[in-house]
Structure 1
Amino acid sequence: MVEDLLRELAPQVLGALVRHHGGFDLCEDAVQEALLAASLQWPEEGIPGNPKGWLITVASRRWIELWRNDSARRRREEAAAVQAPPDPDLVPAVDDTLTLLLLCCHPALTTVSQVALTLRAVGGLGTAEIARAFLVPETTIGQRISRAKQRIKASGAEFGLPPPAELVKRVDAVLRVLYLIFNEGYTASSGSTLHRVELSAEAIRLTRQLHSRLPQDAEVAGLLALMLLTDARRPARTRTDGALVPLADQDRGRWNAGFIAEGTALITATLASAPIGPYQLQAAIAAVHDDAARAEDTDWLQILGLYELLHASAPGPMVTLNRIVAVAMVRGARVALLELADAETDPALAGHHRVSTVRAHLLDMAGDREAAREHYRLAAKRTLSVPEQRYLESRAAML
């Protein structure tokens, strides 16, 4: 498929141009135009024999045009500056995916800019595709990407791996960005659909590439395992009309057995051989859920123990809420309600629809149907996700 091939080649072509010409911003613009040309020509004319070479040649020609039109460089002598395009047959067989990911997640950028730039420069998605995925205007994404490239340029960042002392922090930033992309694809924060598969699939693809570059990094393996074990449930998360199906009610026969096997093998090997990190713990929790043939077979005691470790090592609002649900399953709803009352004093949880959702669930477990109904309705008003609204309203109606 042309689209898949272009996304695979995008970082390779960009890496070749940056290595040859320098200047990430101009090279990235040139590659985007080459990708657009290919997406229009290849379906009609067929994929060339050397698709990577074709893209490098077209992108290099466009780079020269962009360079010539750059007002800041017109004063230079063209003969001294314009370089011949790199020979596709002489481009070193270097995989620049990791280098590009680290550059796109440069600490000078905001998180939203890191996400947008990663999807475009490394993922090969066009500005319009990214805008549609995040339900924002194309001009907004375009401005974010433009500002991000200017900030990278102003920072003086070079195209290469950072020093070892900085590499760990930069990889952490890459993992955070890939995790955000996956989560937005798996459970969209707003809009009429629960999933944005193009985002979750792209996050998995990029994380696979990162794992191939850093096979010994336990947290990279943990994140990939977490994505696979979570995405395995996607086929059963919605009904034909798009309605949300909670985990306990899902048809587990529809789960992706291949993803579960791959994710379980990854996290089992990683936990046995490396220090434990937050992504590994989340993957282990997902593996316990996926291992249960029926909802009632879920080992909630083990899940609570894993959440205790996660809460101690990487506390966060959603970790807190998920741990409280596990507390309810092990120690009872009344105990969990007391913990929820204490937890919602955290400003990060104040007014969050998931607090009302959890409280409604716990009240229902405790037998207080009237109060549960009120909180399901409150949660429905607070979420921007249409499938979540419909599910929460249906729960209220059932009570």
Structure 2
Amino acid sequence: MDAQLTRVAREEGGRLLALLADRVGGIDQAEECLQEAYLRAATAWDASGVPDNPAAWVYTVARNAGIDRLRREKASAQRVSAQARVLGAGVVDDANGSVGRDGTNGPDEVQAALLIAEYSTVGDEQLRLMLLCCHPALAPDVQVALTLRLAGGLTTAEIAAAYLVPEATVAQRIVRAKRKIRDAGIPLTIPADLSERAAVLTAALALIFNEGYLAHTEAAGTLTRTELADQAIRLTATAADALPDEPELGGLLAVELFHRSRERARADADGVLVRLDDQDRALWDRTMVARGYAALSLALAQRRMGPWQVQAMIAAEHTRDQPDWARIVRYYDLLLTMTPGAVAELNRAVAVAEADGPQAGLDALEAIEGLDNYHLLHAARAHLLARLGRDAEAGAHWRRAASLTHNPSELAFVAARLLETET
């Protein structure tokens, strides 16, 4: 039961919130109704079992809670009646005995079909919620954090790990953002000009996928949080379909699909990370790879190159049996002209090592600044030092990488490499 409820909150929470925000008067009210529904589900499902459609069950109870809230809060009985008729269309009243306010009785077959149909038509509602979070009145870092929290379903701890900032900082950003949306009366609508918001939305979706593809917290217990990575792909595909004139969304979708296609090969039977070069390519999902190429082709056809499209071309090169490392280095050179950054420099250095040898890669690593507390910098340096036969130095950097690594699968990999250098 707990696992099912967690799955609904994680995978469906953004869609539920998107639907409810329009129907119960705003984001804060929708969140409160959802929390009430989750609490009722914890009790009801434990007593009577998980319903056939748990997300629709939660939606029904949350929406009923919203109706009750309106009845209590509206001073005018006439306004209450009008709102309840709109919000409760298709919901049988308590007096008829079909849908209990605690959700324990559940809807009858006809009612269930209506609710599931309404819940399944989320479409524009979720896009509106994502774009609301990316409103230009909010600071860029706040936009991303709010999108991750409301539409992406990440906890404040997970967002903090992705940002490398204290959890309290993220919590304050989200509270301030929701207060500003409420006080300014910012509507939950799709604006005519999407260019500014699309860029922030793309960044937020990328962070959701990154947290799913490589979990940052030890509590995750695995290399990948597959449900979160798949949710990011669904959200990105929804946004890319709805905003076909934004090729960077297509580029991001391609990156996500290329990376996700390797899931079955990324860890061994003991859950230890397997390097890309050592993966069994027969385990890769070729259908997902083909979807990635299709998304990339559509994006590139618009002839408006952006950093996510470049990253997609790099990821596409890795799907080949023999990647062209010199070409990958050139792609990173192009990427760095668009979005300079130390992590991109690190990835370029790794590619240089493959193209020109470990010493060339090590020289490129030494020029990078600002990543002293990033475990992958030390892991890359240790790997190249080991290739050069400098095991003592490599061991020191493997130990440093281990001290900075939180994901258990990565930590097991680092521990194994450290053992190799010491034997």
Q: TM-score range by the shorter chain?
A: 0.7 to 0.9
Letter in structure 2 aligned against 1:183: N
Are the aligned partners of 2:144 and 2:201 in contact in 1 as well (CA < 8 Å)?
no
CA RMSD of aligned residues (A): 3.8
Secondary structure at 1:273 match in 2: coil
Matching residue of 2:330: 305
Matched, 1:283 2:284: no
In 2 relative to 1, CA 12–324 (structure 1 residues): closer, same or farther, beyond 3 Å? closer
| Offset at residue 179 of structure 1 (A) | 0.7
What is the CA deviation profile of residues 344-387 of structure 1, one whole-angstrom value per residue up to 9, with x for unaligned ones? 3xxx3133222211211222233323322221222112222232
What is the CA deviation profile of residues 193-243 of structure 1, one whole-angstrom value per residue up to 9, with x for unaligned ones? 221222211111111111221123211111111000001111111112111
Matching residue of 1:244: 273
In 2 relative to 1, CA 113–239 (structure 1 residues): closer, same or farther, beyond 3 Å? farther
Q: Distance in 1 between matches of 2:10 and 2:375?
A: 36
Matched, 1:327 2:356: no
Matched, 1:316 2:341: yes
Matching residue of 1:162: 191
Instruction: Report which stretch shifted further, 315-324 or 193-202.
Output: 193-202
Letter in structure 2 aligned against 1:178: L
In 2 relative to 1, CA 263–222 (structure 1 residues): closer, same or farther, beyond 3 Å? same
Q: 1:77 aligns with which of 68, 75, 78?
A: 75
| Offset at residue 45 of structure 1 (A) | 8.4
Q: Distance in 1 between matches of 2:361 and 2:132?
A: 43
In 2 relative to 1, CA 386–87 (structure 1 residues): closer, same or farther, beyond 3 Å? closer
| Offset at residue 27 of structure 1 (A) | 3.1
Q: Distance in 2 between matches of 1:355 and 1:256?
A: 29
| Offset at residue 256 of structure 1 (A) | 1.1
Matching residue of 2:202: 175
Q: Distance in 1 between matches of 2:373 and 2:16?
A: 46
Matched, 1:63 2:66: yes
In 2 relative to 1, CA 135–117 (structure 1 residues): closer, same or farther, beyond 3 Å? closer
Q: TM-score, normalised on structure 1?
A: 0.80
Q: 2:376 aligns with which of 349, 354, 371?
A: 354
Q: Distance in 2 between matches of 1:115 and 1:36?
A: 28
Q: Distance in 1 between matches of 2:269 and 2:216?
A: 20
Matching residue of 2:388: 366
Matching residue of 1:376: 398
Are the aligned partners of 1:353 and 1:382 in contact in 2 as well (CA < 8 Å)?
yes
Are the aligned partners of 1:190 and 1:384 in contact in 2 as well (CA < 8 Å)?
yes
Letter in structure 2 aligned against 1:78: S
Secondary structure at 1:95 match in 2: helix
Are the aligned partners of 1:12 and 1:95 in contact in 2 as well (CA < 8 Å)?
no
| Offset at residue 34 of structure 1 (A) | 4.9
| Offset at residue 112 of structure 1 (A) | 7.8
In 2 relative to 1, CA 8–246 (structure 1 residues): closer, same or farther, beyond 3 Å? closer
Q: 1:213 aligns with which of 213, 235, 242?
A: 242
Secondary structure at 1:291 match in 2: coil
Q: Distance in 1 between matches of 2:361 and 2:70?
A: 62
| Offset at residue 331 of structure 1 (A) | 2.1
Matched, 1:193 2:222: yes
Are the aligned partners of 1:130 and 1:141 in contact in 2 as well (CA < 8 Å)?
no
Residues 38-49 of structure 1: matches in 2 within 5 Å? Answer: 44=49
Q: 2:178 aligns with which of 140, 145, 149?
A: 149
Letter in structure 2 aligned against 1:362: L
Letter in structure 1 aligned against 2:216: S
Matching residue of 1:253: 282
Are the aligned partners of 2:216 and 2:407 in contact in 1 as well (CA < 8 Å)?
yes
In 2 relative to 1, CA 253–270 (structure 1 residues): closer, same or farther, beyond 3 Å? same
Q: Distance in 1 between matches of 2:51 and 2:399?
A: 54
Secondary structure at 2:124 match in 1: coil
In 2 relative to 1, CA 147–275 (structure 1 residues): closer, same or farther, beyond 3 Å? same
Provide structure 1 residue ranges, at least 5 long, that are not aligned to the other structure: none
The percent of aligned pairs where both chains have the same amino acid is 39
Q: 1:27 aligns with which of 27, 30, 33?
A: 30
In 2 relative to 1, CA 339–5 (structure 1 residues): closer, same or farther, beyond 3 Å? closer
Q: TM-score, normalised on structure 2?
A: 0.76
Residues 89-168 of structure 1: matches in 2 within 5 Å? Answer: 95-106=124-135, 117-118=146-147, 121-122=150-151, 130=155, 148-164=177-193, 167-168=194-195
